[in-house]
Amino acid sequence: MKISAVITSRNDNYGGHLSHRARMCLTNFIERYDEVIYVDWNSKTNSLIEDIKLSLPQKNKLKHVLVTPYDVKQLNEIYESIDIVEVVGRNIGIRLSECDFIVSTNIDIIADKPDLKSLDKDTLYTVPRRDVQVSEFLNVNNDIEFGNSLILNQNNYPEKPDANRKEDIGDPWSLVICCGDYQVAHRDLWHKMRGFEESMIYRNFADTNLMKKGSIYGKISKLKLPIFHLNHSGHGDGTGGVTISNDKSKYVQNFTHTENSEDWGFYKNKFKIEII
């Protein structure tokens, strides 16, 4: 069995030191996983990969998918007003995966590889992350040694708690705070759920919605695995200078089934793909 990591981002220095964090993240996933799919979404200049390509391991494991501003306009003109439509970028990557298990994760995560034999094919798993301060990774040169050190010394980095805060009442699905930093399921369950809900084009609740989808179309569980978040500054404004949120009531409490089409992830579209 094989496992793939799917990541989407854009070349906008989101959170600061983005190229540095991206290099560390992608290098570690390339070394530890069987396949890595990076979807560059609507970068206004060159893809983020172009800035770090020479620093990445050249193992023919990285599938670099380019969704250009022209592509974005062709997919849906409303996407042009939004910096990044993560649910669609993630789904594009998931549909292109050739592995048995598929992880949806972020450009600032370093993760160990799970024991695939222990994973249930009908379960969507999430993992509590451990935060790493900027001062610890900003001057790192050997990304693999740093990743190994994090895993070896994982107990020095407290896990995020379960999602049982007072404000989370009415949400038994997220399981952990920041549940979207690492969500893994067998490809059959991803296809049964039809990935992330593609109408959730704004901020918030897409990862919680996925966890609820997992409970509807299969099961959900918390997985024991060391994963680390490379810290950064907070969110900026989202759409036209205004942060717009997805409807929590619609997509969490009252959600019952996917409305994605069979072509979720724009599977029939031909995006430019480079193997690195």
Query: Is residue 267 over pLDDT 60?
Result: yes
pLDDT tens digit string along 198-255? 999 999 999 999 999 999 999 999 999 999 999 998 755 444 445 799 999 999 999 9
What is the model's pLDDT at position 166?
Answer: 55
pTM of the model: 0.95
pLDDT tens digit string along 7-33? 999 999 989 999 999 999 999 999 999
Percent of the chain residues past pLDDT 90, beyond the cut: 91
Give the separation between CA 109 and CA 11, rounded to whole angstroms.
Answer: 17
Contact criterion met (CB below 8 Å) for 26 and 39? no
pLDDT tens digit string along 164-205? 655 666 789 999 999 999 999 999 999 999 999 999 999 999
Query: Where do the domains of the chain lie?
Result: 3-260
Which pairs with CB-CB distance under 8 Å and at least 24 residues apart come from 55-61?
Answer: 55/23, 55/27, 56/23, 56/26, 56/27, 56/30, 56/276, 57/27, 57/30, 57/31, 58/276, 59/30, 60/275, 60/276, 61/30, 61/33, 61/34, 61/35, 61/36, 61/276
Give CATH for domain 3-260: 3.90.550.10
